[in-house]
């Protein structure tokens, strides 16, 4: 990565300071949106939205986009809600995206309880808050009397989690005619999270089924569990390099029916994580080889299904976007936090778009029905997001 | 038939009123003031949400409401703190019209609201609604704004099941179906057209509200319907389908208490209107039973449905609203 010249750095710092001095004011002013934001939070959060069944939540967001007067407010065929807030010059297009799907089933009671300091309920932080912030953003900018030069593309992304595998965002990025300059993923929590690079990942499952007409006298007649055990043993033999860092996580296993019947099926779920795309491919091919090996030895039917694949990549720690975001965080006294990110980032990486994901407030019990977020830091989170938008808009976040 | 045409002309679905810009415009043209009253007793879990949603959607985004007030029956939880933290006006019921003493019950709070709040239209919404949404207010207020001859709009909740049949049973709760509907069928057949006569959500014009008496407890809704019907006729009443309401579920024992209170009120009203006469002195004790180690035990419970007079009879009220 090219080093920024010191002369440039100074010029940048000078006017970037202005943004930093605006932050406390933005935080204070955004308090006026407390009710509007919380109302959006509650109304969005109370519409169940499991992956692949996001349509009702998307419809709500779309209505909000229409009410805010966004251009092209619509839902695309992948079920993403989209709208554009045009900038004065439109030189850059900034995509601000929050995923709309959750891990909670339709049948779960999605009631949110609101107290003066906190909000509680399934998905309230992940990611009803992120969506509420995206939906409230046009009102915030209007309130602050901030006109961006860049076009702001706002998006509620469908099919992000699990088997959805960011399908919504990927679809948009691969089909849109708008050249996206920068991406910002908004997550409800934690505030202080800053993801800008991502390790590569393959996520999938190995399914072993023993045919009904199985010849029980053959080797391996102990059934699907023992067969999958053999697969596991061989996977563990795969040599992983120290650098670039790579691991294979065996995350879950299921199989069999009872104490005394030979198992006819078994499922192993795994994830390969690696900093190198090439090593990821190699590991994957080795797993394929193991499977065809064990399969031919035992006669069992073994399949390898990868349903999520992420390229490693992202922007460097010293990229101006990452640096600007860190400076904004520190100006707002936000403590940086490490958190495992299931973020939108990897979709941006796939299209070589510089991007970050950030959080809005603090919370706990993520992905449980008692998920909880704290209200007060939300306004810091809003100031952070606005600051980052301004920094991008005024050109402080691009490498050249 | 009367009921049939009433169902056609005076039964609405909230979706007919989605255009809040148009609604607010019409409200402003008529120079109407609208007040929301939420009666509370230990509702800290739901009250915050109700206030935030109504304030955001119906005051800040669309100025349909002019005030939001919580009238509280001395809650022992954080109800009042939560409500004021989110910017509602909060009153203790017993502090309003102090001179007239303090009685316990939801109806008491609704009555005091007529004095305390300023609106030409008052909307009452229970505080125990889990799936609160702006439609609960605009769906009830809109018929009053668009139709001057309507004075009293009542909520009902009817979410179609995913069924292919053309007809399905519609109904209120258990107390409605086994007590109110049979009683109305006997004495006021036209009132049976109200799908949920007991729902706690309704919007009313002040000039009607201040002329009817208020039972302080469970009978208040039944009593209202009888009085409004008797004085202004069925055409003054309307109902709006608000789809679905999620709230806590009552035990049969509690439904018994409710039914007992309502029945007292009902009998009082039919007597006052001269429909029944020579009623004996009625007991105010509800007798319920429980079994303990094979022994039956009586649990007597005193439920007195007192009544507040029409607000217009209160001199302080006439003074405060002298212009009206
Ligand atoms: N029961 C009761 N409710 C009160 C009182 N004062 C205010 N309320 C409020 O009146 C509303 C209705 O009370 P509920 O107890 O729900 O009575 P209901 O709606 O007839 O019965 P449910 O079927 O339980 O909803 C709620 O918002 C209560 O918080 C009171 O003294 N007693
Ligand atoms: Mg109730």
Find the CATH number of the domain harbouring B64.
3.90.550.10
Is residue A211 a contact partner of residue A244, using CB atoms and an 8 Å limit? no
Q: Which of A140-144, A255-259, A392-396, B286-290 has the lowest mean pLDDT?
A: A255-259
DSSP 8-state secondary structure symbol assigned to residue B112? H
- Quote the domain boundaries for residue B128: 3-177+190-252+309-320
Residue having the nearest C-alpha atom to atom 11 of ligand 1: B126
Q: 10 Å Cβ neighbour count for B275?
A: 13
Beta bridge partners of A250: A270
3-state secondary structure of B80: helix
Length of chain A: 400
- How high is the mean pLDDT of chain A? 90
Tokens of A230: 């053999």
- Based on its alpha-carbon atoms, the radius of gyration of chain B, rounded to whole angstroms, reads 20
Q: Which of A55-64, A109-118, A300-309, B30-39 has the lowest mean pLDDT?
A: A300-309
Alpha-carbon distances of B293 from B160, B252, B296, B297, rounded to whole Å = 45, 21, 8, 10
Task: Name the residue of chain A whose CA is nearest to B78's CA.
Answer: A115
In which band, very low, low, confident or very high, does the pLDDT at A276 lie, cut at 50, 70 and 90? confident
With CB atoms and an 8 Å threshold, state whether B45 touches A43: no
pLDDT digits (tens, 9 = 90+) for A321-373: 999 999 999 999 998 886 656 578 889 998 999 999 999 999 999 989 999 99
In a domain, B278, yes or no: no
| Cross-chain CB nearest to A115 (options B53, B55, B82) | B82
In ligand 1, which atom is closest to the CA atom of B221?
20
Residue among B106, B129, B214, B301 whose CB has most ligand 1 atoms within 8 A, to mutate: B106
In a domain, B294, yes or no: no
In a domain, B271, yes or no: no
In which band, very low, low, confident or very high, does the pLDDT at A9 lie, cut at 50, 70 and 90? very low
Tokens of B307: 């009544």
Q: How far is the CA of B285 from the centre of ligand 2 (A)?
A: 23
CA pair distance B132, B269, nearest whole angstrom: 33
Q: 10 Å Cβ neighbour count for B230?
A: 15
pLDDT at B171: 64
In a domain, B304, yes or no: no
CATH numbers and ranges of domains, chain A: 6-198+312-393 (3.40.630.10), 200-310 (3.30.70.360)
Is residue B68 a contact partner of residue B181, using CB atoms and an 8 Å limit? no
Looking at A100-197, list the stretches that DSSP marks H as alpha helix, in order from N- to C-terminal side.
130-143, 167-175
ipTM: 0.82
In ligand 1, which atom is closest to the CA atom of B248?
24
In ligand 1, which atom is closest to the CA atom of B42?
29
In which band, very low, low, confident or very high, does the pLDDT at A218 lie, cut at 50, 70 and 90? low
Looking at chain B, list the stretches that DSSP marks H as alpha helix, in order from N- to C-terminal side.
2-10, 20-29, 44-55, 79-85, 106-116, 135-146, 174-175, 181-187, 206-209, 220-232, 252-272, 315-320
Residues of B in contact with A121 (CB under 8 A): none
Segment (H or E) for A98? strand A93-99
> Which is it for strands B67-72 and B34-40: parallel, antiparallel or unpaired?
parallel
Tokens of A9: 């750095």
| Cross-chain CB nearest to B52 (options A42, A46, A67) | A42
Q: How far is the CA of B126 from the centre of ligand 2 (A)?
A: 6
Average pLDDT, stretch A144-153?
Answer: 95
Alpha-carbon distances of A134 from A88, B130, B202, rounded to whole Å = 20, 25, 35
B156 Cβ contact list (under 8 Å, min separation 6): B172, B194, B195, B196, B199, B239, B240, B241, B242
Nearest CA distance, B53 vs chain A (angstrom) = 5
Nearest alpha-carbon partner for A298 in A262, A270, A249: A262
Place of tokens 């057949």: B189
Residues of B in contact with A38 (CB under 8 A): 52, 56
In ligand 1, which atom is closest to the CA atom of B247?
25
Residue of B20, B56, B85 for testing the chain A interface, max A β-carbons within 10 Å: B56
Nearest CA distance, A35 vs chain B (angstrom) = 5
Specify the higher pLDDT residue, A164 or A260. A164
Segment (H or E) for A35? helix A34-45
Which residues in chain B come in under a pLDDT of 70? 1, 159-172, 247-248, 323-324
With CB atoms and an 8 Å threshold, state whether A112 touches B61: no
| Cross-chain CB nearest to B82 (options A40, A43, A116) | A116
Residue of B44, B45, B49 for testing the chain A interface, max A β-carbons within 10 Å: B49
Q: 10 Å Cβ neighbour count for A162?
A: 15
In ligand 1, which atom is closest to the CA atom of B126?
27
In a domain, B164, yes or no: yes
Q: How far is the CA of B41 from the centre of ligand 1 (A)?
A: 7
Nearest CA distance, B54 vs chain A (angstrom) = 8
If you count residue pairs, one on A and one on B, with CB atoms under 8 Å apart, how many are there? 46
B243 touches chain A (CB under 8 A): no
B59: left (phi over 0), alpha (psi -120 to 50) or beta: alpha
Q: How far is the CA of B126 from the centre of ligand 1 (A)?
A: 7
With CB atoms and an 8 Å threshold, state whether B56 touches A39: yes
Q: Which of residues 79-138 of B touch A (CB under 8 A)?
A: 81-82, 85-87, 130-133
pLDDT digits (tens, 9 = 90+) for A60-105: 999 999 999 999 999 999 999 999 999 999 999 999 999 999 999 9
- Secondary structure tally for chain B: helices H, strands E: 12, 12
In a domain, B169, yes or no: yes
Q: Which of A143-152, A249-258, B170-179 has the lowest mean pLDDT?
A: B170-179
Q: Within 6 Å (CB) of ligand 1, which residues are found?
A: B 39-41, 43, 73, 104-106, 109, 126-128, 200, 247-248, 250
In a domain, B276, yes or no: no
Place of tokens 């860049």: A150
Specify the higher pLDDT residue, A114 or A244. A114
Chain A interface, Cβ < 8 Å to B: 35-36, 38-40, 42-43, 46, 67, 111-116
| pLDDT at A29 > cutoff 90 | yes
Beta bridge partners of B214: B308
| pLDDT at A10 > cutoff 60 | no
In a domain, B286, yes or no: no
In which band, very low, low, confident or very high, does the pLDDT at A275 lie, cut at 50, 70 and 90? confident
pTM of the model: 0.83
Is residue B126 a contact partner of residue B38, using CB atoms and an 8 Å limit? yes
Number of domains chain B is built from: 1
A125 Cβ contact list (under 8 Å, min separation 6): A188, A189, A361, A363, A366, A371, A372, A373
């Amino acid at each position: 990565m090219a080093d920024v010249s010191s002369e440039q750095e100074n010029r940048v710092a000078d006017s970037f300071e202005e943004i930093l001095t605006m932050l406390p004011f933005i935080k204070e002013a955004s308090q006026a949106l407390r009710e509007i934001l919380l109302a959006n939070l509650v109304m969005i959060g109370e519409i169940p939205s499991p992956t692949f069944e996001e349509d009702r939540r998307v419809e709500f967001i779309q209505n909000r986009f229409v009410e805010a007067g966004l251009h092209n407010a619509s839902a695309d065929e992948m079920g993403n809600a989209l709208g554009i807030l045009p900038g004065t010059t439109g030189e850059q297009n900034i995509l601000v995206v929050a995923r709309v799907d959750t891990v909670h089933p339709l049948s779960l009671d999605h009631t949110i309880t609101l107290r003066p300091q906190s909000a509680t309920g399934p998905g309230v932080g992940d990611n009803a808050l992120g969506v509420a912030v995206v939906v409230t953003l046009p009102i915030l900018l209007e309130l602050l009397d901030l006109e961006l030069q860049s076009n702001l593309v706002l998006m509620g992304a469908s099919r992000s989690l699990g088997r959805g595998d960011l399908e919504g965002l990927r679809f948009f990025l691969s089909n849109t005619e708008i050249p996206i300059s920068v991406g910002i993923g908004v997550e409800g929590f934690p505030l202080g999270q800053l993801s800008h690079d991502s390790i590569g990942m393959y996520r999938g499952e190995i399914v072993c089924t023993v045919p009904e007409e199985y010849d029980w006298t053959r080797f391996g007649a102990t059934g699907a569990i023992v067969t999958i055990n053999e697969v596991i043993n061989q996977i563990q033999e795969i040599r992983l390099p120290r650098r670039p860092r790579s691991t294979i996580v065996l995350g879950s296993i299921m199989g069999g029916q009872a104490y005394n019947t030979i198992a006819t099926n078994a499922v192993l779920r795994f994830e390969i994580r690696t900093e190198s795309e090439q090593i990821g491919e190699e590991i994957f091919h080795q797993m394929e080889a193991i499977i065809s090996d064990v399969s031919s030895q035992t006669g069992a039917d073994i399949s390898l299904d990868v349903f999520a694949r992420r390229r490693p990549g992202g922007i460097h720690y010293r990229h101006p976007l990452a640096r600007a975001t860190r400076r904004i965080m520190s100006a707002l006294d936000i403590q940086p936090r490490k958190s495992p990110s299931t973020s939108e980032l990897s979709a941006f990486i796939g299209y070589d778009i510089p991007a970050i994901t950030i959080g809005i407030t603090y919370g706990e019990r993520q992905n449980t029905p008692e998920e909880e977020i704290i209200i007060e830091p939300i306004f810091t989170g809003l100031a952070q997001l606005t600051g980052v938008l301004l920094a991008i808009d005024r050109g402080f976040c691009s490498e050249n | 038939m009367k009921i049939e045409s009433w169902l056609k002309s005076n039964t609405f679905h909230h979706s007919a009123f989605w255009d809040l810009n148009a609604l607010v415009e019409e409200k402003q043209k008529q120079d109407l003031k609208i007040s929301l009253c939420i009666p509370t007793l230990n509702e800290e879990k739901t009250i915050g949400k109700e206030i935030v949603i109504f304030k955001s959607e119906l005051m800040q985004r669309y100025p349909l409401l002019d005030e939001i007030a919580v009238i509280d029956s001395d809650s022992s939880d954080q109800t009042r703190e939560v409500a004021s933290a989110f910017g509602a006006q909060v009153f203790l019921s017993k502090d309003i019209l102090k001179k007239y003493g303090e009685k316990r019950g939801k109806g008491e709070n609704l009555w005091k609201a007529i004095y305390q709040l300023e609106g030409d239209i008052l909307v009452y919404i229970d505080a125990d609604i889990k799936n609160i949404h702006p439609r609960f207010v605009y769906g009830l207020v809109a018929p009053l704004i668009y139709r001057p001859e309507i004075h009293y709009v009542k909520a009902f909740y009817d979410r179609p099941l995913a069924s292919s049949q053309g007809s399905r049973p519609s109904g209120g709760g258990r107390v409605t179906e086994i007590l109110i509907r049979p009683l109305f069928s006997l004495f006021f057949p036209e009132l049976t057209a109200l799908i949920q006569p007991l729902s706690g959500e309704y919007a009313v014009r002040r000039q009607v509200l201040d002329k009817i008496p208020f039972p302080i407890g469970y009978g208040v809704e039944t009593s209202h319907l009888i009085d409004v019907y008797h004085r202004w006729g069925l055409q003054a009443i309307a109902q709006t389908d608000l789809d679905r309401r999620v709230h806590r579920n009552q035990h049969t024992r509690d439904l018994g208490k409710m039914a007992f209170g309502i029945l007292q009120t009902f009998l009082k009203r039919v007597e006052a209107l001269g429909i029944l006469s020579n009623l004996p002195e009625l007991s105010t004790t509800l007798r319920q039973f429980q079994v303990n180690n094979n022994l039956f035990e009586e649990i007597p419970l005193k439920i007195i449905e007192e009544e507040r007079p029409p607000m217009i009879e209160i001199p302080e009220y006439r003074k405060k609203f002298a212009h009206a």
